[in-house]
Structure 1
C-alpha cells in the first residue's frame, strides 16, 4: 500500500518543493490550491514586474508523475469554507487515504501586512478564515480519517511572526498584526492535535521554515534583498527535507510539542548537503 501526502499551497515555493520531496520518497501526492492553471486570480502575489507569479498545480502534478508517482489536483480556497470542506472529501475519495497533511497554504493579499492605522476589519476577517478556520476544518476532517486508518501525520507551517514581536514596524518592512495573529493561530494547532488525538495515532508538528528563498520572497524583496540576507536564508528544499524527515523518521513523535526551526534542525540532523 502506497502512502499519500496532501500538500496545500502546492503550486510553487515550499509547497511545490515539499510535494516533490514526498514523491521522490515514494509517496503519492494530493496537490491542493486555489487554481489548477496559472491564470490570474484576485489575491495572487505579483512579481516586481507587476505580473502574477508563475506556477500551477497541474505543472507540479506533471513533475510528480514524471517521478512515477500518482498526483491529484484539488481545488482549495482558504477564503471559501465550502471549498475547504469539499477539498477534504475529494482528497479522501480520490486518493483513498491521507497519511500526511501539510498545511502550507496562506492568504497573501496585499493588505496582509498593513500597519495598525491602516488595517481594515475585512483583512482580519480574511486572515481569520484563512489562518484559523480553514486549517482547523481541513485538519479535523483529515485527522478523523487518519484515526480510522490507524494514524497519520499533520504538519503546520508557521512563521517567526507568530512566535515573537516584529523587530521593526510594518511600514519599515516588518510584519503587521494581521499576519502575526494568523500565524500565531497556526502555531497553536499542532499542540492541541497531539494532546487530543495522539492516542489515536496522530502525530502533529509545527515547523517554522525561517527565511526561504522562494519565488514569493524574490517578488517581495528582489535579488538584492535576498543577497543581503546571506546566511540567514535557505532554499525551499531545506524545510521540505525537514518535513519529510519528521513524517517518515520521527515515528516515536519525539519532536512534537515545540516549534521546529527548520534551518538549525536541518543542520543538526544533516538533512541538506551544504
Structure 2
C-alpha cells in the first residue's frame, strides 16, 4: 500500500508551475484543463489575450489555478516581456510545454508554389518561438537545478506523410482540402532535434527535455480521411485528444525523473510497421 501511494505521488503535479504555449488551441486548452485538474498552477500562453483570460477563468475554481499570459511568440521582445511576467508572478517555472504551432494563409499550397513568406511565418512560431521561450525560461530552471521541458512535435516530424491518404480528404474547419505540407514536417522534425540538444545541454543542470509526438488525432476530418489514416494504424483508428494527456502528465511529473532526450510517440503503433 505504501509503495502504491509513493508511486501515485510521483505523478502528482500539485503546485508545479507549468507554462503551456498555444494554450487556447484544441490540444493546448485540453492540456491546460487536465494539468489544473492534476493540481498544477498553469500559465496559459497564446496570442489572443481575451481567449487566454476566458480559458483561465473557465478552468480555475477560484484560486487562480490558471492565469493568462498573452504573447506574440513570433516577436522576440514580446517573448522577453512575457517570460519576465511569468517569473515575476510565480518566482519559478517547473515545466515548460512548447505546444504552439502556426498555420499560414497558404499553408496547404503545393510544394511547387509554396510562398517563402508562409514558410518563414510557420518557422517563426513552430521553431524560432520554441527557441525563444526556452532561452528565456530555461536558464531559471538550470539555476534551480530542476525542470522539465516538453516540446510537442508530430508524427510527420518523424516519418514522411503518405500522400495517398489525402486524396479526397477534407477538413471543413480548415477551409476544405488538406495535406501535410513540407514546412510542417520540417518544423516538427526540428523540434525533435532541438529536444535532443537541450537534453544534453541542460541535463547536467537537472533540466530534462523530451518530445511528445502525437499521431493523427480525430478532430473534424472527413470520413474518407479517417478511414485511410486508420488503415495505416495497427490499432485501426485515429487518436482521441485525451489520449495524449497521460504521456504529457508523465513527462511533466517526477515519475519521469530519469527520462531525458526521448521522443514519446503516441501513435497507435503507426511507426511500428
TM-score (norm 2): 0.80
1:132-185 Cα offsets, whole Å, 9 max, x none, are 211001112211011122210000000122122221179844311111111111
Tell me the equivalent position of 1:91: 86
Tell me the equivalent position of 1:22: 35
Tell me the equivalent position of 2:246: 241
Contact 2:157 2:192 in 1 (8 A): yes
Q: How far 1:252 sits from its partner (Å)?
A: 3.1
Q: How far 1:122 sits from its partner (Å)?
A: 0.8
Q: How far 1:59 sits from its partner (Å)?
A: 2.6
What aligned pairs does 1:66-81 form with structure 2 within 5 A after superposition? 66=61, 68-81=63-76
Tell me the equivalent position of 1:258: 262
Moved more, 227-236 or 148-157: 227-236
> Are residues 186 and 123 of structure 1, via their aligned partners in 2, closer, same or farther at CA, if it must alter by over 3 Å?
same
Q: How far 1:106 sits from its partner (Å)?
A: 0.6
* Distance in 1 (alpha carbons) for counterparts of 2:90 and 2:130: 20
| 1:114 pairs with one of 109, 113, 130 | 109
Tell me the equivalent position of 1:198: 203
Tell me the equivalent position of 1:188: 193
* Distance in 2 (alpha carbons) for counterparts of 1:150 and 1:229: 42
Task: Give the match's secondary structure for 2:162.
Answer: coil
Number of residue equivalences: 241
* Distance in 2 (alpha carbons) for counterparts of 1:171 and 1:121: 23
* Distance in 2 (alpha carbons) for counterparts of 1:69 and 1:10: 16
Task: Give the match's secondary structure for 1:31.
Answer: strand
TM-score (norm 1): 0.79
Whose Rg is larger? Answer: 2
* Distance in 2 (alpha carbons) for counterparts of 1:137 and 1:105: 12
> Are residues 89 and 157 of structure 1, via their aligned partners in 2, closer, same or farther at CA, if it must alter by over 3 Å?
same
